[in-house]
Structure 1
Amino acid sequence: MPTLIYNPGGPDEQVFVLGDAAVTIGRAEDQAICTPHRSLSRSQARIYSIRDHETEGATMPESAMVAQRQKLR
């Protein structure tokens, strides 16, 4: 299952498991991942998990082939 790691290696590191549904991130407490950092808006982003199930055609969001686990930047 894909994961999102907040502040890896830091004293406040948190690991969030991402399922099949979209996940929202932001400062607001109604976000699935609430991170009260002042650099984030109340509703900063929505993350979708994309997986290629080894079909004949490739999964290519924004022209980048999804072949294996990739680090988000």
Structure 2
Amino acid sequence: MKTFEISRIHTSAGIFRLSGYVCTSGDRVTLEYRTAEFMGTDGWCELDIESEHARSILAAIQPELIEHLA
């Protein structure tokens, strides 16, 4: 498990700031998030990474994040 910190990434779902862990098992790469924020109109807004809504957003952008971290 390796830690990651992305200070700003532009994705198809918006602009995010993220930190967490990259887990690799063979060819499979998964991400575990410690913090997740998105850029709102008034600045950074924290996502509740335990909520279903936040999980669906993070799952949708995960391929972009894995590509960025590769």
Q: What TM-score results when the alignment is normalised by the length of structure 2?
A: 0.25
Higher RCO structure (Cα 8 Å, ≥6 apart): 2
Q: Which structure dedicates a bigger proportion of its chain to helix?
A: 2
The structure with the larger Rg is 1
Q: Which structure dedicates a bigger proportion of its chain to strand?
A: 2
